[in-house]
Structures are given as structure tokens and as C-alpha cells.
Amino acid sequence: MERRYLLFTAGGEGFALGLGEVVEVRERADLFPLPRVPEAILGLMNYHGNLTAILDFAAFIGSLGRNDGKLLVLDPKLAALALWVDEVKAIVPEEAVEVVAEGERHWETATLNTDFGTMTLLRLEGLLEEVESQLAAEP
């Protein structure tokens, strides 16, 4: 089976996830705020009976995002997490991207050139580790 990528933007930067890591793109969700969590954690939503954390991905990378973005709900088998992003650009097949460099941060796999610009391919395991470490550091 051919690998495909979901391309999106957050905080003015381009990113990609393996399409199999995302189960749904949503316009919005009812949000239940959480006390004493990093600012990038917007709260929880009920996703088909499961509590799912919402991560403002622009805030996570230290940028400002848009209020009218999209939610990328990750596969619940991988994580109870949804990413709030600015815009979904496209779904592209593997042959439509060119790997041009390795990722710089431990939650990045590679830098990709696409018809939609340069995108950073996320390493979901590393991203989850970073979010967990930020949560553990909060007082």
C-alpha cells in the first residue's frame, strides 16, 4: 500500500503527518478546559466517548496560530490527542514529496519539498514524548 501524507500549516510553518496517523479532520469541538497544564494544551474533547487532549500546535512550536483552524484527530490507538492547526493543505502520495534533510528536533523525521512548499514530517512518538515531558514539568 502506498504511503500518503496529510500536509498542514501551523504558526506559519508547514508540516506533514502520515495519513494513517490521522483518523479525522474536524472544524471544531466542544472544549473542556484543564487547570495547570501548559498553554499549548487547550483542554479536552469527547471523541466518540474517549477523552482526547487538544494541542494547539502553533503554540507548541512557539508561534501564534489562527482561531479558525482545524482539528487533526490522531488515531486513538496511537494517542488520545488532537492537533489544532491553521489549515489543511492536501493529502499527497509519497512520490509527490522529496526528502531534502533529516529533522532537526527529536519530534521531526525529515524536511520534505512538496508542491505546497517545504513541510516538516512529524515523528509522532517524539511529539508525544515532548508533550508528556511538558506536562510533567508543569507545577
What pLDDT was estimated at residue 103?
Answer: 81
pLDDT bin (cut points 50, 70, 90) of residue 135 is: confident
Least confident window among 38-47, 59-68, 94-103: 59-68
What the chain holds in terms of domains, given with CATH numbers, is 4-137 (2.40.50.180)
DSSP secondary structure letters along 21-61: GEEEEES----B--SSS-TTEEEEEEETTEEEEEEEHHHHT
pLDDT tens-place string over residues 59-75 = 999 888 777 899 999 99
The three three-digit cell numbers of residue 79, written as one number: 494517542
pLDDT tens-place string over residues 112-125 = 999 999 999 999 99
pLDDT bin (cut points 50, 70, 90) of residue 1 is: low
What pLDDT was estimated at residue 15?
Answer: 97
